[in-house]
Amino acid sequence: MKKDFLDISDHSGEELLSLLNFSLDLKKEWQSGGNKPILKGKVLAMVFQKPSLRTRVSFDMAMRHLGGDALYLSPSEIGLGKRESIADVARVLSGYVEGIMARVFEHAHILELAKWASIPVINGLSNFNHPCQALADALTIYEHFGEIKGLNVCYVGDGNNVAVSLMQICAKLGSNFIIATPEGYDMPQVSVNAAKIFAATSGSKLTFLRDPHDAVKNVDVIYTDTWTSMGQEEEAKKRETIFPPYQVNNKLVSEANEHVIIMHCLPAHRNHEITDDVADGLHSMLFPQAHNRMHAQKAILARLLGGA
């Protein structure tokens, strides 16, 4: 495995499947009484430009479960690229801790951290992608269905960073990926082009549509995310006039397979992109999915920091 975990596209389908199986093993071990302290004495620096509930707590608890520790560094403490250069931050932290997890606005900041750090760097989210979320998403699907190859995974809404990583992991693992987005809110073409190459290798089929009702036909998973991400607040009013037809509600869910599961990376703006009755309904996997962040990240941390 590479030194860093920055982008799903950096890893082969075999590596990703291995991480999923390792995640399941670590989860079962934890449920059976606790994980072995394979990261005892190791510390993860958690660098935040954006606030977070799941990323902060799931990484902190993952380190604790594996016997290590995590150090939270708030936006005001570092001022990444402002108070101090990213290269200097990376080199300073490399002498103090065994790994860096960073949750940033600009993807270039993650790449620069990894360039200058001599220790592993994990992408906790950037404006381009969200690879840790995608691994947890794949874990949730794999755990629920007992397989992932050949399943139909549909994303409805904004072609954002979460959608990019979900498409990548589906294409790498052989799931068919369908996305319905409004015009003007598609994923970056560079990401689509790369995913088509991955799909050709794995046998995955990629489908890009406008109509969410067409998109959800015969799908096993419906996934959505907020219509307005952090950093896009000035666009919120405009987006709220464009995205209502993409709401995941009972009518949309009823048009998918009977066994469909509903996913959302959270936080959810309830009764905007997803209705309460769907988020809290029988098909919802929102909270198992959120909890799987911790278990998927344990596998990443154990591989990068512990050599497991």
Active site residues: 103, 130, 133, 225, 265, 293
Q: Which of 136, 132, 128 is nearest to 111 (CA)?
A: 128
> What spatial distance separates the first Cα and last Cα of the chain, rounded to whole Å?
10
Burial letters for 203-235: b for 16+ Cβ neighbours within 10 Å, e otherwise? ebebeeeeebeebbeebbbbbbbbbbbeeeeee
- Tell the burial category of 117 from Cβ atoms under 10 Å away from its Cβ (0-12, 13-18, 19+): buried
Q: How far apart are CA 302 and CA 36, in angstroms?
A: 11
Q: Which of 124, 57, 53 is nearest to 267 (CA)?
A: 53
